[in-house]
Amino acid sequence: MLKKTPLNRIHRDLAARMVDFGGWDMPVQYTGVIDEHLATREAAGLFDVSHMGEVEVRGAGALAYIQHLTINDAARLEIGQVQYSAICYPHGGIVDDVTLYRFAADRFLFCVNASNADKDYAWMEQVLEEGDFPDVELRNLSDDYAQLALQGPAAETILARLTTHNLKDIRYYHFAEGQVAGVPTIISRTGYTGEDGFELYFAAEAAESVWTALMAAGSEEGIKPCGLGARDTLRLEMKFALYGHELSSEISPLEAGLGWITKFDKGDFIGRDALLKQKEKGVPRRLAGLVMTDRGIPRDGYPVFAGEEQVGTVTSGTMSPCLKVGIALALVRPECSGVGKELSIGIRNRQVACRVAKTPFIKNWRD
């Protein structure tokens, strides 16, 4: 049986198109992917992301444990700050990419991908049991939290109507604990769209009331409920990785363009030796952004060619609603990953021209 978020009834009342997403009954669209995508870029979109998982780490040894578990340097986190990171296997493949919240010297919260939540928690428990971290407590709080993502240029204006907290004090990748619509909430200035916005964590039983309050508060700005379809096209325009596509147990952070969060100088961590060897030897493939120069829409799994030779594979692809051209992310040979490189993608048994582009794809799309 599919899992349901606390907002399932509302999604169905709104006649959302529902799909099975990683074992969850989730809305893929309401009024249409392009409509919801552009609403988020131009005004505000509201996303139910309550399927995401949350794992709390507490105790005197929490930081040491997290340093061993993740590839980024959690010691750099200030209280009230969020960090993008990843968890790896010993061979360097990725267990999951995560966001890490620091509440105190000895209290942290991971937000993990929905389809990976059970796997991630089992891996975290295994690492804890096999290591020397006696003063650490793990708690899977995924069922306790609902999570909404309010994204878009009008997000701050809308949220300000429902909280007394000064939102301008919350910098990018920072958070505060306050109230939204009278509900105790973790207010995080983060997101997966490339727009300004907030991810809001609160008790699951308050989900419908907070959703309804946000939709009402944003009516003047044209807020729209948004599904997984727009969430995917928005993140793809920004070259944000998605687990199962750009990230997996067979893809390393260095291949996926996450060398910037792989901190070899922080000390030992799971996967460090394998990743260091890969760094010294050179990665066999790199993640590149591709823009179609002939007509065609690239999709996950399509082959990428240099001349007649296959040099890579598309990991994600779509028609960009903002650029109105096909865009893709692909793992390609390093020598084919330079900006401006002319390549092609196999679409319906023919090679369609593309080139390697600067990313994010939409950096100056409003100009």
Beta bridge partners of 251: 248
């394998």: which residue's tokens?
Answer: 274
Q: What are phi and psi of 295, to 5 degrees?
A: -70, 130
Q: How far apart are CA 17 and CA 150, in angstroms?
A: 20
Q: How far apart are CA 186 and CA 15, in angstroms?
A: 29
C-alpha angle with apex 116: 115 to 118, nearest 5 degrees? 105
Beta bridge partners of 146: 202
Report the Cα 179 to chain-centroid distance in Å. Answer: 24
Provide the pairing of β-strand 145-151 with 82-88: unpaired
């793990």: which residue's tokens?
Answer: 138
Q: What are phi and psi of 38, to 5 degrees?
A: -70, -35
Q: How many CB atoms lie within 10 A of CB 22?
A: 15
> E-strand spans in the chain?
17-21, 24-29, 45-48, 53-58, 82-88, 94-104, 107-112, 137-140, 145-151, 175-180, 183-188, 197-203, 224-226, 286-292, 303-306, 309-319, 326-332, 342-347, 350-357
Query: Annotated binding residue at 199?
Result: yes
The CA R_g of the chain, rounded to the nearest whole Å, is: 21
Provide the pairing of β-strand 45-48 with 224-226: parallel
Contacts of 152 (CB under 8 A, 6+ apart): 39, 40, 41, 42, 43, 44, 45, 193, 195, 196, 197, 223
SS3 236: helix
Please report, in range form, the residues annotated as the binding site. Answer: 199
Please report, in range form, the residues annotated as the binding site for substrate. Answer: 199
